[in-house]
Structure 1
Amino acid sequence: MILAPSTIDLFAFGEESLLDLVSGQASPFFAYDLGAARERFRRLRAALPQRVRLAYAVKSNPGLPLLETFSAEGAWFDCASAGEVSTVLAAGGTGAGMVFAGPAKSERDLQAALFAGARVQVDGIEDVARLHTLHEGAEPLPVSVRVNPAQGVSEVATIIGGGGPSAFGVDEEVVEEFLTEAARYERVRISGVQVFAASNELDAGRLLANHRTALRIARHVQAVLGRELDLVDLGGGLGVRYDVTQPSLDVRTLGAGLGRVLEENAWFTGELLLEPGRWLSAPTGVYCARVVRTKDSRGERFVMLEGGINHLLRPLMTGQPFPTLALRPGVGVIGSAGSGAAGGALVRTTLAGPLCTSLDRLGTGDLPADLRPGDVVVFGQAGAYAATQAMTHFLSHPAPEQVWVG
């Protein structure tokens, strides 16, 4: 049996490659396809207007081989900690192609960003005041201000974007007061705007609406400052599907629409930045865990795996599981979403891990009824917000291996 055509984009590797991986690698483990990462970067780059720069959001997956791959493609990087700055520099990135964000930046974070030469995005007057003290250059330090939109935001699920009350940025309603206060700090110069208003959005139209909101805010900031901005950062939010019934984001539609948005905003002549993370990294990775045991409990089917939320926390946080398929070593794929099962019917199954807590659930989905110990469950879209977002040290189970291919 082979993967159904409708599900191929959910998993980084084909059936033969998956069989090779599970036969040669101790479970559980993550595997990533660097060739797929290159292809996705180039596809997105080709779809967007040429003046739009791509800054890979390191938070989605900070693996050094992945950062090296994107660096070789000419990517900028969106960092949110001193550790991410260090990893990007090790991967060949430079401060000239780096933005630095975060709602509670430590002094160590700010020093790392300044040392690298990154563009800092300030979230409040406290950031401005500390940068004023830390900056030792002869010229004022150019920074961007993150603005939390008052309205005009369109997204399905709020994770780190959206409107309403927020720990991030300066509320749009008080941005003029902020700019007036920031002007008192002569060694810091507000010259850019960042608006991050979506997370994992699959609708190009919603993303474009948010981009128009960002440019509307930027135009207002420029008018208040009385000088031209040199950078507008549109944030990220480019989504990937986790379910076979969901649509995929059409990046060509997004690119064409963004071109029209730029024509509508000819007033802005500076750098324009987009921060894709998940869209670039999620489809490059899979997580593989062997079945330890199965059971039926009061009408519910359970399959217990060697790994749980200590490796994949996202289903518990969001309520949305990763896509899965079942693999039998020496045989091949025996069931996947949208394709039925080779050995019989698919049944609703709750996936649980090895941890001594009822929170250890990796989601519920349709898997073969004859799934048995030794089979492997493969989780797709695991190249983002997976290995490094997990509760790795909980209960002291070993960390999973990470395998880089290509």
Structure 2
Amino acid sequence: MAAPAPVVPDEDPSFDELLALRPHLSVAIDSGLLVEGVPLARIAAEQGTPTWVYAASPITGRYHALAGALAEAGLDARIHYAMKANDALAVVRLLGSLGAGADVVSGGEFLAARAAGIAPADIVFSGVGKTDAELRLALAAGVGQINVESAEELAMLGAIADGMGVRAPVALRVNPDVDAGTHAKITTGRAENKFGIPIDTARDLYARAANAPGISVRGVAVHIGSQITALAPYRAAYARLAELVRGLRAEGLPVERVDCGGGLGIAYRNEPAPSPAAFAHMLRETLGGLDLPLMLEPGRWLVGPAGLLLARVILEKQGAAHRFVILDAAMNDLIRPSLYEAWHAIVPVSPSRWHARLSPAEVVGPVCESGDSFARARMLPGLPAGALVAILDAGAYGAVMSSTYNARPLAGAVMVRGTDVAVIRRRQTHEALLGQDVIPSWLASG
């Protein structure tokens, strides 16, 4: 029986088109794909694969672009980097050196922000399920703001703070019931989501917070999801937020600031994404009239395009229906394609492969799961064993979501600045991975 004809996907951006939108990447005729001024082949030779590679220049450039757009729009706005996107201390330190604060969602992220040099007063603690221990940690350190997500959390926090003899700086995170149009697993602003306080009940809870022991209510917050590539959902959410603030003020309640959240999307493939200027203009139209300081918590937008996962081809396998390119990276390294059906560009590192004939390929990892896939029917050149590929735009929600499934150690990471390369996270060894386990004495062999 003849093999079925391979499925050819909708046309994707060419390799050249992908690089044109990512100026920190280039191709040299002799050394292949470069990050800033460093050949990826050199990094692979020195560090092995898979390896996370982050470029400093796009992080710096994107931070300045967003901060500049906010200033140009006449907004008093502060950027707090959402560490859930990438918690590498070097990445957080770089953004902190540019002027960013941090947005954290766990005690571990709070400690990481501090280790990276972020002052407690510049940290916003978000998250729907903060524990007593996490709240005590943040309060003892002098956290700048705690985003409270329920009446129950407000009562818990007030009791803890009152017992510690402090007042917790609080913003109430409201749920505006706005559909951000993103993947269902990363939307956070709809009524059925677990996040936030229903906006229709927020005014009463705010009044209670203003008089609660242990609480110093400062303002309101919102976050409607992640990878948002249109401004309309933001406009709808911020319009509801502005209405809430005006209502609170009409009742004589103090509102000192508005936390706008994050979620700005990036162009992984060829989808449109809002510019910083357009986003800032929308902020000015919806919230600028309140004459209040604004806080933003971008994560993916700042670091996503700056990172890639460098991997090596183990082998190509011709199946009954598909050509499989099997990499030494897997879903335990980068789970987004398996978890969210996310699209990531995959490009060859060798210059000899850059303009070779393309054919559909299934790009997969070696993990024992059919879902261990990076791409379906992706147009790629022949990639023999040992060939290197770069999985682009992996700087956000990549390494932070990695696991050791199949007893695969966590990959290492490097940061590139110009022609300098620095290891920023050591590759986990099998010895370190196995060393975490303890065999009880009653199972020890005689």
Q: Relative to structure 1, is the Cα distance of residues 162 and 347 closer, same or farther in structure 2, using a 3 angstrom cutoff?
A: farther
Between 48-57 and 7-16, the greater mean CA deviation after superposition: 7-16
Q: Distance in 1 between matches of 2:208 and 2:131?
A: 21
Q: Distance in 2 between matches of 1:387 and 1:154?
A: 25
Letter in 1 for 2:215: V
Between 75-84 and 348-357, the greater mean CA deviation after superposition: 348-357
1:99-151 alpha-carbon deviations (Å, 9 max, x no partner): 10111111121112212322111111222222222215766433011111135
In structure 1, the residue matched to 2:387 is: 375
Residue 397 (structure 1) aligned to one of 408, 411, 418: 408
In structure 2, the residue matched to 1:178 is: 205
In structure 1, the residue matched to 2:68 is: 46
| Cα contact 2:180–2:228 (8 A) shared by 1 | no
| Cα contact 1:311–1:387 (8 A) shared by 2 | yes
Q: Distance in 1 between matches of 2:404 and 2:343?
A: 21
In structure 2, the residue matched to 1:98 is: 123
Matches within 5 A, 1:230-309: 230-243=256-269, 245-263=270-288, 265=289, 268-309=290-331
Q: Relative to structure 1, is the Cα distance of residues 373 and 164 closer, same or farther in structure 2, using a 3 angstrom cutoff?
A: same
Between 317-326 and 213-222, the greater mean CA deviation after superposition: 213-222
Query: How many Å apart are 1:373 and its aligned residue?
Result: 0.8
| Cα contact 1:324–1:379 (8 A) shared by 2 | yes
Give the number of the structure whose alpha-carbon radius of gyration is greater: 2
User: Aligned with 2:390: secondary structure?
Assistant: strand
Query: How many Å apart are 1:198 and its aligned residue?
Result: 3.1
**Is there any run of 5+ residues in structure 2 with no aligned partner, and where?**
1-13, 27-32, 418-446
1:40-96 alpha-carbon deviations (Å, 9 max, x no partner): 111111111341111110000011011111111111111101111111111111122
Does residue 25 in structure 1 map to residue 47 in structure 2? yes
**Cα RMSD after superposing both structures:** 2.2
Letter in 1 for 2:189: G
Q: Distance in 2 between matches of 1:125 and 1:217?
A: 17
Q: Distance in 2 between matches of 1:217 and 1:202?
A: 25
Letter in 2 for 1:203: A
Percent identity, aligned pairs only, is: 28
Query: How many Å apart are 1:9 and its aligned residue?
Result: 3.2
Q: How does the TM-score come out when normalised to structure 2? A: 0.81
1:131-173 alpha-carbon deviations (Å, 9 max, x no partner): 222215766433011111135x443334142312121111123
Query: How many Å apart are 1:25 and its aligned residue?
Result: 2.6
| Cα contact 1:12–1:286 (8 A) shared by 2 | no
Between 110-119 and 7-16, the greater mean CA deviation after superposition: 7-16
1:235-261 alpha-carbon deviations (Å, 9 max, x no partner): 111111111x22233112222232233
Q: Distance in 2 between matches of 1:252 and 1:183?
A: 35
Between 169-178 and 275-284, the greater mean CA deviation after superposition: 169-178
Residue 34 (structure 1) aligned to one of 51, 56, 60: 56
Q: Distance in 1 between matches of 2:151 and 2:287?
A: 30
Q: Distance in 1 between matches of 2:326 and 2:312?
A: 9
Q: Distance in 1 between matches of 2:198 and 2:260?
A: 16
Query: How many Å apart are 1:402 and its aligned residue?
Result: 0.5
In structure 2, the residue matched to 1:155 is: 181
Does residue 229 in structure 1 map to residue 255 in structure 2? yes
| Cα contact 1:148–1:171 (8 A) shared by 2 | yes
Does residue 343 in structure 1 map to residue 356 in structure 2? yes
Q: Relative to structure 1, is the Cα distance of residues 222 and 317 closer, same or farther in structure 2, using a 3 angstrom cutoff?
A: farther
Letter in 2 for 1:4: D
Letter in 1 for 2:341: G
Q: How does the TM-score come out when normalised to structure 1? A: 0.89
Between 26-35 and 142-151, the greater mean CA deviation after superposition: 142-151
Q: Relative to structure 1, is the Cα distance of residues 259 and 173 closer, same or farther in structure 2, using a 3 angstrom cutoff?
A: closer
Letter in 2 for 1:99: V
Q: Relative to structure 1, is the Cα distance of residues 6 and 325 closer, same or farther in structure 2, using a 3 angstrom cutoff?
A: closer
| Cα contact 2:174–2:199 (8 A) shared by 1 | yes
**Is there any run of 5+ residues in structure 1 with no aligned partner, and where?**
336-341
Q: Distance in 2 between matches of 1:367 and 1:231?
A: 49
Residue 224 (structure 2) aligned to one of 197, 200, 218: 197
